[in-house]
A and B are shown apart, each in its own frame.
Chain A
């Protein structure tokens, strides 16, 4: 069932983007869009939903903004305050509404903003989430989240962060920043808050539509969708379930197919970047027969791209799965990841496979010391019992 609220959520980003572009001010834009939605909520149920809700909402919001500027101008004329700029009074054609969400995304994810501000603003401006919802998702008070959003909006205004898609020479770095924000939102959702996962996927979809030729954008979307397809199998009650033990009937096969199709598109576009490679790994891991040597090869490529020790750890797991736990252990032992839980649990598992049970136990105990959540602790305790 599609409620009025769903319709609003669907169009919020597009309408807001258009108003921010029009007014050059986040707060004023938000105010006008909210006004337009209030009018819609009043009229649509009796007069029917317009054929193009986004255009209707944008036109209405612009008209409200223009009205307000006129009122303020009259007031300013009377009491001789600063003049209101003339430029925003342009004629407006409601049949063609330019999609300015890309400009909005790049503004929200500008690296001059603190990362938490980028995340919050992206969810608010593009996703249309309420401040209270974002606060709940990040386990902070509504007041804290409100301040975070205000700080970000103030910095945009005070420092002149442009409402624009960056110039070509800046685009690769800036796009990386946007993708990082979306993936961060996704991972917040993955740690149990499913709503944010879906939100990140919908942001990813918007971005693929706006930048259809960027392979990494497709790569990120594929990665998120493939992971998301497995979300119901990752937990059994409160317990973490490893890939090997997951009940595949709980996987969302349609979503999985959709994710693979997005990955194919990314590869066809020549994508070889970190998100495409991770999506390819995720895809291989959902096959009936997992080609572990190929997975290991992809992890090797990912190590080249990221230089990440955690990726090296995953590479070692793939090597073990491909049948060589001794070599995997040698790789793991070279890594300096002593404070990382999964370093010790992986070592424990490799030692167990090599029948070095006493050392395996010691590693699992060390992992248990580092565990912070109940599911992690229970999982590790189960592994210890098996030994």
Chain B
């Protein structure tokens, strides 16, 4: 079953994740259950777009101004939710003040 692991960072890690955290992410990427992963540039670089009444409204910053910021996401192929939880718990952000949201990828 495919799951998305949506990684939220604590604000300070968002700006400058230390090298050893980077190394851990690269290490994780070697696990064959990781189908895809992307680390995002800091939330300060975010631009939000909505279209209303035919007009494109562009604003600075992410949609939600929260304590945790979206830091990246992975797509994994896991046997079941427990397997996905195991992988999520290995993502550094989970123990560094952030967290990981697990969502099944919708099937069509």
Contacts and interface: CB of A to CB of B under 8 A. Distances in A.
Interface in A103-161: 110, 112, 158-161
Contacts of A164: 80, 82
Nearest to A167: B82
A110 B3 CA distance: 18
Nearest to B102: A159
A170 B82 CA distance: 9
A161 B80 contact: yes
Interface string B1-21: 101000000000000000000
B62 interface: no
B81 interface: yes
B75 to A, nearest CB: 15
Contacts of B84: 160
Helix, strand, loop or mixed for chain B's interface?
A: mixed
B104 interface: yes
Helix, strand, loop or mixed for chain A's interface?
A: loop
A163 B3 CA distance: 18
A112 B13 CA distance: 27
A375 interface: no
Interface string B52-93: 000000000000000000000000001111111100000000
Contact of A112 (B1, B81, B83): B81
Nearest to B78: A160
Contacts of A273: none
Most chain-B CB neighbours within 10 Å: which of A112, A159, A160, A161? A160
Contacts of A170: 82
A200 to B, nearest CB: 26
Contact of A162 (B3, B80, B102, B104): B80
Contacts of B79: 162
A97 B5 CA distance: 38
B82 A159 contact: no
A107 B84 CA distance: 15
Contacts of A53: none
A262 B1 CA distance: 42
Given A159-B81, A160-B104, 12 more contacts: A110-B81, A112-B85, A158-B104, A160-B1, A160-B3, A160-B78, A160-B81, A160-B84, A161-B81, A162-B79, A162-B81, A170-B82
9 contacts: A112-B85, A158-B104, A160-B78, A160-B80, A161-B81, A162-B79, A164-B82, A166-B82, A167-B82
